[in-house]
Structure 1
Amino acid sequence: MISPLNAANAYSAARPAIAPGRAPATDAVSRIGMAAEEFAQQMQQVDAAAAGAMTGKTDTHHLVQTIAESQLAMETVVAIRNKVVEAYQEILRMPV
């Protein structure tokens, strides 16, 4: 038989497992933030290369290389977004 004291002790032992702000969750959030910053930097490089190519300060080879890199980054971001949306929709379909 489960006594109230045993139940309270079990709850106290399990509480840190669901507490917000755990180190792994914070680490994951910081990695996602760093990835977003790197993506933004990649897009800024494309803008700078495009502006440089229009003004004649950058050669077209550098522009094409930067555009190809940004295309790969954009496809990666879109694939991640699609997976997140798919997971969210799957959660919505779960019966309560």
Structure 2
Amino acid sequence: MFTALNAANAYSNARSAIAPDRDAAPGVVQKIGSAAEEFSRQMQQVDISATEAMTGTGDTHQLVQTIAEAQLAMETVVAVRNKVVEAYQEILRMPV
């Protein structure tokens, strides 16, 4: 039989699972942030190389190389996103 006290205790115990403490895993949060910053820098480099190639001041070989690197980075980000969505969907399917 559930009482208000039991429900409050259960909520208190489950609270860390709902909103995990950022101090518990600072390395993971920092790695995710640095990966996002690196992805952003990669996309900015593509823009710079494309602009230089269009204006005639850049090397087309550099443009092709930058686009290939950006494509690999984008495929990696999409694969990670797909895994996160898949994990979230698995969590939603769990019986309560």
Q: TM-score range by the shorter chain?
A: 0.7 to 0.9
Percent identical among aligned pairs is 71
Amino acid corresponding to residue 61 of structure 2 in structure 1? H
C-alpha separation in 1, matches of 2:73 and 2:47: 14
1:7 is matched with: none
Residue 77 of structure 2 is matched in structure 1 by: 77
Asked whether the equivalents of residues 49 and 63 of structure 2 are also in contact (C-alpha less than 8 Å), the reply is yes
**Are 2:33 and 1:21 equivalent residues in the alignment?**
no
1:21 Cα offset (Å):
3.2
TM (norm. structure 1) is 0.77
Give 2:58's aligned residue.
58
Q: SS where residue 44 of structure 1 aligns?
A: helix
Give the number of equivalent residue pairs. Answer: 79
RMSD: 1.5
**What are structure 2's unaligned runs of at least 5 residues?**
1-12
Greater radius of gyration (CA)? 1
Offset from partner CA, 1:37-86 (integer Å, 9 cap, x none): 00000000000000000000111100000000000000000000000000
